[in-house]
Structure 1
Amino acid sequence: RVFFETRLGVAEGQGKVVHRFVVHWGGHTGDITARYSLNKNRLPSDLVEEMREAYRRCEPILTGDAPSEGDVRREVARVLLGSLGYTEKELEGVDLTDVEQVRTLTQRRVTPTPKKQTLVSVEELPRYLDEGWTFVGNVGYDRVLLNPPEGGAEPMSRPSLPILTAEGSPALPR
């Protein structure tokens, strides 16, 4: 009886059953409204059906049926990916029981994509800015450092720039 009422308390907390049914099923007389609404053990058929339906909703809690492995995997994956910023809409077409799909989605958010800054000549700067690159700073008098556009981008093909010394002359290879 203790287990039964404890589990019904859990079901009540989850909104699966109303309190007066819990009291009645536990064999208690209940409060004065129960005395009139439950008709002294002559329950109307519609109330009996309502109680049966409530009991069906409570049955998994009362019998201790564990959720299936697939349900557990789906819920864990949903919580994990949600904490990484994925929305329900983004997860709609994903099989959350597929470990490889979940691993791939996780790695996309956990493994940062390194930004590849690039060094370009001042003459090339307008073209890069038009492509979405952002200015970071000057390097010497004729070169600038740029960050790639959002989402990352490979540097555009361009002639390689000579490495200059502090005096402005080309550095010799070592």
Structure 2
Amino acid sequence: MENPLTASWGLSISDADFAKLKRGVRPRDMDDRWIFKAMTDEELADEATTDKELTDEELMDEELMDEATTDETLTDKATLDLDQGGNISIRRSWTNKELYRLAVKPSEGGTSAKIEAITWEQIQGDRISEEQAKIDAVILCKHILKCDFAAAPDYDRLLFSAFPRSAAVDSTTVQNGTN
């Protein structure tokens, strides 16, 4: 991230949602626009020192490796790692550019897991506020990973920062029955 900001969050999530976050998602084809990748602090530090974007060839190699990995393997790995926290990197698939990072902590003694903090790229065309970054992260997790995030508000997908504000306002007005 070129212009990151970090804010505490404290969003409680279920262990099932935590497993989905840890499992992540890789693009299957060119229509898939997002990557969710679980990373340790060490992996983030290594990535920061190399500070490079993957080439098309490297992205293709990663995709081929991912195709060889079965969903069962990913599920087992996610289950094994549920006792460890870490970071969930949310990236654009074509550029591998990280736009959001969630710091997650596993459940302790039967309580729910937590997203303790969010780090986001504050300049994505327009400046992204803390509130908007959290809205974006919730929308992405709910719609791509199918997370429940019961403690988070149920945001309309049109509130995602990539949509023009006028489209979101017009859509909300029509949906609420007012013109």
Fold match (TM-score > 0.5): no
Higher helix fraction: Structure 1 or Structure 2? Answer: 1
Q: TM-score when scaled to structure 2?
A: 0.22
Higher strand fraction: Structure 1 or Structure 2? Answer: 2
